[in-house]
Copies of this chain bind each other. A is one copy, B any other.
């Protein structure tokens, strides 16, 4: 068994349940990775994150390189020690946040130069520098190759140009990473919503050979249907014996449909972000706790979720905390949401093992159909121009 052995324990249709070994412990898949953007999963203690069922966290290279800074983080002993998390950590490459957050970014063939959204300071990210920050400074157990993210929608020509750059950066990332005993490197498939480009990218990345394969360029406004379609375009061209990870998703309905298409890993800020804004995800669908109808409701958020946050606080109390702007509201809803995502992935693993995943998927895909994301229009205010 190698350090990052991936064993598929059960499968049901395209869905699979497995275990990815890491030197810092097992990752049970399908796995949801809570996002600890700036070295903390927002409003949660790390033992709550662990108890919610998370085996692995995601850290954001972009945020950590700006603050506290990669060399300082290295001097302090790396991210695990810094934030008090002894399980595995996966880091993104920083590319996506440079694309979505940084000011005045300037791409060239070797990398990207950008200004910090915090203080305007100038930084540069190349494949080698991204790997250095992730693997050597942060100390990530799993690093991601640097890639370029395209806007959505994106022309075929632009998507084709971009994925070739990402392939080049993947090779450069792999070269910089070298051979490591206790750390892994994942490649990233791009190609927007074009079947030929997703195939080209998946084949190219697979040919380079990584410890795992991610799909990028999703959850950028394409909507639920297109997201599912893009997954279907790429999965057949990825090796079956390595983990597959869709970056940045998603809602519970997204996770179910992605697992049904052979995906093993996810990360998303949704549980904590929506928790801070008063949205609780439950087996009966999402709840807006700020709604007046909860003001005298003594029921907990979801008794079926085995977490104090889900069981021990009345909706009336949580409603009050949000109306009063109290920290504890965001703390409890973030905790509950993470526990719900933990329960959802545990349930998917159990349904796959039992060979009943399709019935489970059908039930909840229907029940939660109203939560599917719609495609973002070029004319709506949220569309991000290139």
A84 / chain B contacts, CB cutoff of 8 Å: 312-313, 317
Instruction: For the complex, give the distance between the alpha carbons of A128 and B275 in Å.
Output: 40
A324-B72 contact in complex given A39-B317, A313-B84, A331-B331, C-beta closer than 8 Å: no
Residue numbers in B under 8 Å from A313 (CB-CB): 84
- Tell me if A's interface is mostly helix, strand, loop or mixed: loop
Residues 253-300 (chain A) with a chain B CB within 8 angstroms? 295-296, 298
Contacts A76-B298, A323-B67 given: A44-B330 contact, CB under 8 Å?
A: no
The verdict on A327 contacting B317 (CB below 8 Å), with A75-B296, A76-B298 known, is: no
Given the complex, which residues of B lie within 8 Å of A77, measured CB to CB?
A: 298
Within 35-70 of A, Cβ neighbours of B (below 8 Å) are at 38-40, 42-45, 63, 67-68
Check if A321 is an interface residue, CB within 8 A of chain B: yes
Alpha-carbon separation in the docked complex, A330 to B45 (Å): 12
Chain B residues near A312 (CB-CB < 8 A): 84
B67/A314 in contact, CB under 8 A: no
Complex Cα spacing A124 to B354, Å: 63
Complex Cα gap A317–B84 (Å): 10
Q: What is the bound-complex CA distance between A43 and B42, given in angstroms? A: 13
Cα separation A154 to B76 with both chains bound (whole Å): 54
B326 contacts A40, CB within 8 Å?
A: yes
Check if A328 is an interface residue, CB within 8 A of chain B.
yes
Q: How far is the CA of A375 from the CA of B343 in the complex (A)?
A: 56
Which chain A residues in 316-344 approach chain B with CB under 8 Å? 316-317, 320-321, 323-324, 326-328, 330-331
For A67, the chain B residues whose CB sits under 8 A away are: 320, 323-324
Q: Is the beta-carbon distance between A38 and B326 smaller than 8 angstroms?
A: yes
- List residues 179-227 of chain A with CB under 8 A from any CB of chain B: none
From B63, B68, B328, A45 is in contact (CB under 8 Å) with B328
- Is A360 in the interface zone, CB < 8 Å from B? no
Q: Which 9 pairs between the two chains have the least Cβ-Cβ distance?
A: A43-B327, A38-B324, A40-B328, A68-B320, A40-B326, A82-B317, A76-B316, A67-B324, A42-B327
Given A39-B317, A67-B323, A68-B316, list of 16 further CB < 8 A pairs? A38-B321, A38-B324, A39-B324, A40-B321, A40-B326, A40-B327, A42-B326, A43-B331, A63-B324, A68-B323, A75-B296, A76-B298, A77-B298, A83-B317, A84-B317, A327-B330
Query: Can you give 28 contacting A-B residue pairs, CB < 8 Å?
Result: A38-B320, A39-B324, A40-B321, A40-B326, A40-B327, A42-B326, A42-B327, A42-B328, A43-B331, A44-B328, A45-B328, A45-B331, A67-B323, A67-B324, A68-B320, A68-B323, A72-B296, A75-B296, A76-B314, A76-B316, A82-B314, A82-B316, A82-B317, A83-B317, A84-B312, A327-B327, A327-B330, A327-B331
